[in-house]
Amino acid sequence: MSVCQESTADFTELWHAQVIAVLDLLVKNKQVDPEKWSRALGAELDQRQSDGATDDDANYYDAFLTALGMMLEKSELASRAEVDERESDWRAAYLGTPHGQPVALKN
Amino acid sequence: MSTYDSEKVAKLHRELHSHLPSEPALRLKALETVLVEKGFLAADGVDKWLEDYSENVGPMNGAKVIAQAWTDPDYAMRLEQDADAAFVEVVPTAPHNYNLRAVFNTPQVHNLIVCTLCSCYPLGLLGMSPSWYKSAEYRARAVRDPRGVLSEFGTDLLDDVEVKVWDSTSDRRYMVVPSRPAGTDDWSKDDLANLVTRNSMIGTVRDLSPVGGAG
């Protein structure tokens, strides 16, 4: 594969931009140390490469999200249990909201 | 004979029309919700970031800086000495904490940027890096075989041109300043900026010679 193949779009999916935004904001607010983050992302990418993952954007952003989740749990900013619970809440909200209406969590 | 289960059909209908995000998108939404609830992120933080990114961030910022450097030797010197400060002179909205270093191509030297560890890049200045920059293949081969990588981008260097590969880190980012193409002496800064590409600021492209005229 040639390394120069690329899409011209900055982000192919909205959540790709959003996960970059979350990380960038946490770094700017000094809640995430950029050096620790680089190491964490690098380790996740290396692990995936060893496991034979595809070398593309989809894998990169999945690695990014996984590494971010693990780092935030380790630093006690967001535990896995808390995120699991909110993920379940959002899933229920999406499935329970009629088409065309805004989706929101119930308080 | 098939059975008709109205509840099952209704459930399927809801699922089809609910715009349920993909699994990673849903996971991120949950993560963001937790961070907002705990006060680590503002409720509108991500939306504002995306708005700022779309309006103020991208390769055009670097292109303006390079066009300024091409037309103002004093500015080029300031860019070489303190790239963060020089960047803000031309792009006032730019963040000034990237510890950016501008590396200048010359007839004898070609610069190439990589992040061998992960994907460090001056995102807030130049926008998101291209897909290939983040790939394991580029991260490995840019150091091991830079001329081979450059050749795949159509950049074939003469043997007497030295290639310098700069490895970005979380506290040091780089931007290549390509050489000003010949025949552009009377061009405006806007026209010059239009010649500069994202790849040339990473160093995978060297020659920016215009195909046609300015404007």
Residues B28 and B134 in one domain: no
- Give a yes or no: residue B11 inside a domain: no
Closest chain A residue to B141, measured at CA: A3
Residue B76 CB contacts under 8 Å (≥ 6 apart), including other chains: B69, B70, B104, B177
Residue B138 has pLDDT above 50, yes or no: yes
CA atoms within 13 A on the CB side of A90: 22
- Give a yes or no: residue B4 inside a domain: no
Residue B199 has pLDDT above 60, yes or no: yes
- Give a yes or no: residue B159 inside a domain: yes
Closest chain B residue to A71, measured at CA: B31
- On average, the pLDDT of chain B sits at 92
Domain that holds residue B198: 58-202
pLDDT confidence of residue B14: 55
Query: B156 φ, ψ to 5°?
Result: -105, 115
- In this complex, the residue of B40, B118, B171 whose CB is nearest that of residue A41 is B118
Residues B107 and B177 in one domain: yes
ipTM: 0.92
Residues B28 and B79 in one domain: no
Residues B103 and B185 in one domain: yes
- Give a yes or no: residue B8 inside a domain: no
Residues B29 and B77 in one domain: no
- Give a yes or no: residue B9 inside a domain: no
Q: Which amino acid is at B39?
A: G
Q: Using an 8 Å Cβ cutoff, are B99 and B171 in contact?
A: yes
Residues B134 and B83 in one domain: yes
Q: Does A26 touch chain B (CB under 8 A)?
A: yes
What are the residue numbers of the active site of B?
115, 118-120
Give the pLDDT band (50/70/90) at residue A10.
confident
* Domain spans, chain A: 14-76, 80-107
Number of domains present in the structure of chain B: 2
**The three-state (H, E, C) secondary structure of chain B, written as one string:** CCCCCHHHHHHHHHHHHCCCCCHHHHHHHHHHHHHHHCCCCCCCHHHHHHHHHHHHCCHHHHHHHHHHHHHCHHHHHHHHHCHHHHHHHHCCCCCCCCCEEEEECCCCEEEEEECCCCCCCCHHHHCCCCHHHHCHHHHHHHHHCHHHHHHHCCCCCCCCCEEEEEECECCEEEEEECCCCCCCCCCCHHHHHHHCCHHHHHCCCCCCCCCCCCC
Give the pLDDT band (50/70/90) at residue B103.
very high
Say which CATH number the domain at B135 has: 3.90.330.10
Yes or no, beta carbons of A77 and B35 under 8 Å apart: yes
pLDDT tens-digit readout, B45-79: 999 999 999 999 999 999 999 999 999 999 999 99
Residues B30 and B130 in one domain: no
Q: How far apart are CA A30 and CA B96, in angstroms?
A: 16
B2 in a labelled binding site: no
Residue A98 has pLDDT above 90, yes or no: no
More confident residue, A102 or A82: A82
Write out residues 65-94 of A within 8 Å (CB-CB) of B: 65, 68-69, 72, 77-78, 82-87, 89-91, 94
Closest chain A residue to B132, measured at CA: A3
Q: How far apart are CA B45 and CA A28, in angstroms?
A: 12
Q: Residue A107 in 3-state DSSP?
A: coil
CA B212 → CA B101, B153, B179, distances in Å? 32, 21, 18
B119 in a labelled binding site: yes
Shortest CA gap B144–chain A (Å)? 14
Extract the tokens encoding B208.
Answer: 């920016």
Yes or no, beta carbons of B14 and A96 under 8 Å apart: yes
Helix (H) or strand (E) holding A41: helix A34-50
Residue B92 has pLDDT above 50, yes or no: yes
Extract the tokens encoding A63.
Answer: 């690695």
User: What pairing do the DSSP bridges indicate for beta strands B109-114 and B162-167?
Assistant: parallel
Yes or no, beta carbons of A37 and B152 under 8 Å apart: no
Mutate which of B13, B32, B141, B173 to test chain A, going by most A C-beta atoms within 10 A? B32
Residues B76 and B172 in one domain: yes
pLDDT tens-digit readout, A56-65: 999 999 999 9
Yes or no, beta carbons of B128 and A55 under 8 Å apart: no
- Give a yes or no: residue B168 inside a domain: yes
CA B97 → CA A40, B56, B169, B171, B176, distances in Å? 22, 16, 13, 9, 18
Asked which of B56, B81, B104 is the last residue of a domain, the reply is: B56
Residues B24 and B52 in one domain: yes
Residue A41 has pLDDT above 50, yes or no: yes
Yes or no, beta carbons of B128 and A11 under 8 Å apart: yes
CB pairs under 8 A between A and B: 161
Mutate which of A7, A8, A10, A68 to test chain B, going by most B C-beta atoms within 10 A? A10
